[in-house]
């Protein structure tokens, strides 16, 4: 059974339908932790950490009040990207939401590219902490995979999207430093998943249709795509179903595998042989 001792517990928002989906695939469920609270507690921790790794903060911003303002800017910009996309908001939108002037916003982040890069780096730190907590939770490979899926689900339940998933959809319009930071985010996720998958293969828990890294890429791409489609239909069940199929794939079921029907000529020969056998049996009985 998966035990996530590192996670705070509370009233679960996990529906019984999703729990049944995972159980039917052999992924054990325990009274789940409050994933939403956990993930966003990590976000809040980053927000309250002046000069946190990944935030390009000017030395003069060491004063607590100034640092808090920069983190408020990051919080607002992150929400706007997760709901509108990077090209769907302006500095005026951020300034109005934070309650500062555009000039003040430019003081903290001279360009939108600077703001975007700081956001990706902060999100990377948050995700790294979440993956580290999962790794030390004592769960088996199936439990770790389930926990990873729940990190995505917690974002969807906030009516948002994965920050880096949203940015990836606008990849060609982003500055080169942001593009590289996005690649680093997905690469880190794939490496972590590949390690979990390989450990599960060695222990016999999982049956991988392909190599661990290839399956990790499939999981990340599938979960990010499932988030986008679920949001377009405003239907979280779509994400749950897609995630369940992705997890089934690493148990050896292989999503999308089709059992080939017998060839028509072969079927006809088998049918004719059965008819001849029945006729012969009847003839023998009549004698």
Indicate if the pLDDT at residue 106 is higher than 80. yes
Rounded CA separation 77/212 (Å): 35
Rounded CA separation 266/249 (Å): 31
Indicate if the pLDDT at residue 63 is higher than 80. no
Mean pLDDT across 56-80: 76
Q: What is the pLDDT, as a whole number, of residue 74?
A: 97
Mean pLDDT across 90-104: 96
Q: 94-98, 185-189, 228-232, 264-268: lowest mean pLDDT where?
A: 264-268
Rounded CA separation 239/156 (Å): 9
Q: What pTM, to 2 d.p., does this model score?
A: 0.68
Q: What is the pLDDT, as a whole number, of residue 138?
A: 85
Please, what is the average pLDDT of the chain?
76
Q: Which CATH superfamily is domain 16-249 in?
A: Tetracycline Repressor, domain 2 (1.10.357.10)
pLDDT for 38-58, tens place per residue?
A: 554 555 555 445 444 444 444
Q: What is the pLDDT, as a whole number, of residue 67?
A: 80
Q: What is the pLDDT, as a whole number, of residue 147?
A: 94
Question: What phi and psi values does residue 275 have, to the nearest 5 degrees?
Answer: -65, -45
Rounded CA separation 128/134 (Å): 10
Burial track 14-27 (b if 16+ CB lie within 10 A, e otherwise): beeebbebbeebeb
Report the SS3 class of residue 141.
helix
Nearest CA to 116 out of 179, 169, 190 is that of 179
Residue 224 or 33, more confident: 224
pLDDT for 173-183, tens place per residue?
A: 999 999 999 99
Rounded CA separation 58/36 (Å): 32
Rounded CA separation 5/87 (Å): 39
Rounded CA separation 174/108 (Å): 20
Give 213-248 as a DSSP string: HHHHHHHHHHHHHHHHHHHHHT-HHHHHHHHHHHHH
Question: 11 burial class (0-12, 13-18, 19+ CB within 10 angstroms)?
Answer: exposed
């Amino acid at each position: 059974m998966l035990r996530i001792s590192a996670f705070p517990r509370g009233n679960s928002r996990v529906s019984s339908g999703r729990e049944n989906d995972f159980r039917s695939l052999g992924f054990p469920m325990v009274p789940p932790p409050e994933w939403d609270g956990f993930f966003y507690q990590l976000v809040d921790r980053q927000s309250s950490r002046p000069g946190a790794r990944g935030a390009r903060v000017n030395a003069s911003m060491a004063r607590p009040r100034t640092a808090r303002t920069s983190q408020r800017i990051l919080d607002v910009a992150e929400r706007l990207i997760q709901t509108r996309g990077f090209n769907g908001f302006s500095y005026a939108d951020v300034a109005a939401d934070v309650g500062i002037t555009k000039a003040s916003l430019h003081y903290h982040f001279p360009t939108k590219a600077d703001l975007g890069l700081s956001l990706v780096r902060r999100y990377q730190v948050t995700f790294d902490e979440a993956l580290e907590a999962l790794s030390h939770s004592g769960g088996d490979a199936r439990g770790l995979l389930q926990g990873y899926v729940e990190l995505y689900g917690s974002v969807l339940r906030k009516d948002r999207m994965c920050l880096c998933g949203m940015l990836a959809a606008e990849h060609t319009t982003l500055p080169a430093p942001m593009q590289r930071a996005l690649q680093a985010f997905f690469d880190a996720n794939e490496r972590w998943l590949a390690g979990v998958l390989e450990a599960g293969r060695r222990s016999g828990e999982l049956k991988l249709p392909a190599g661990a890294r290839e399956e990790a890429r499939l999981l990340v791409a599938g979960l990010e795509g499932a988030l986008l489609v679920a949001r377009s239909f405003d239907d979280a069940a779509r994400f749950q179903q897609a995630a369940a199929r992705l997890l089934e794939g690493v148990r050896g079921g292989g999503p999308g595998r089709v059992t080939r029907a017998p060839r028509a000529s072969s079927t006809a020969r088998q049918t004719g042989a059965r008819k001849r056998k029945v006729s012969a049996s009847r003839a023998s009985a009549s004698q």
